[in-house]
Structures are given as structure tokens and as C-alpha cells.
Amino acid sequence: MTPKIDWSELFFSSTGRAGQVPSIIAAGVLLLFLAVYESVVTGALQFLNWIVYPVLIYCGACVVSKRLHDRGRSGWWAAIILLAVVMVWPRPTGFFDFIAVFVLVWAVIDLCVMPGERGDNRYGRTLFRTAMRES
């Protein structure tokens, strides 16, 4: 049985829950896309930044929010995590950037290492577990 993940739901909706593996893959895809985009786009094409960055931030907020829901936390914590990502990208330089690094280390441990809540919580079922049960 192969569970099916609705990737458009994961990237474009902040409601519901998402398990560890789909969230890690989605976050990796977003970060990889950002790195490739920044290495390719130069000069006259920089006007695209006004379109690409808001879309990436929105998709990142949706992915992180769903993972936070799976851990039983409010999706609004995603704002702090995304602010930390923006502060340290592409590398931390100042004192407050290193505070953001601390926030990101906490987020990686909490969202990538720790398992989600078992069963239903106030945010619903995980996408992965729902797909497993319905198969």
C-alpha cells in the first residue's frame, strides 16, 4: 500500500496536519528551489523576486503550519520560524541572526525529529495517516 499525499494541499493550504516525511520533503523542495532561483536569477530578471518570494513564503508557511498542527501547536508559530529563515538566509552575520539560528535549531528538532501526536487532535488527522487508513 502506497499512501498518496496531496502535494498541492500540502503547499497551498494551511489547514489540517502533515506528517514528518512529507513535511521534510516539502521543506527541502522549497529550500532547494530558493537556492537554485537565487543562483540563476540576476540583473534584469530580479523583478521576479516580487512574485517568487511571496509565493515561497506562503508555501513555506503552509508546510510548517501543517507540521506544527501535527505536533499539536498553533500554525501561527510558523511566522516566527519563517522570520528566522529570512533573517539567516543565506548566512547569519549579526547577533540577532544567531538568535534566529537558535530558533531554527529548535524548529528542526521539534518538527523534524519529534513525532506528531497520535490519533486525531483539534487540527484533524495527518495527511499521511489518513491516506494509510483509506487505502
Other C-beta atoms within 10 Å of 88: how many? 18
| Residues 124, 16 contacting (CB under 8 angstroms) | yes
Q: Where are the domains of the chain?
A: 7-134
102-115 pLDDT, tens digit each: 999 999 999 999 98
pLDDT at position 126 over 70: no
| Residues 19, 128 contacting (CB under 8 angstroms) | yes
Helices 20-40 & 127-134, crossing angle to 10 degrees? 130
1-17 pLDDT, tens digit each: 345 778 889 999 988 88
37-87 pLDDT, tens digit each: 988 887 778 888 899 999 999 999 999 999 999 999 999 999 999 999 989
Confidence grade of residue 131 (pLDDT, cut at 50, 70, 90): very low
Looking at the chain, the whole-number percentage of residues with pLDDT higher than 90 is 50
Read off the C-alpha cell for 26.
516539502
Closest CA to 68 of 120, 117, 131, 128: 117
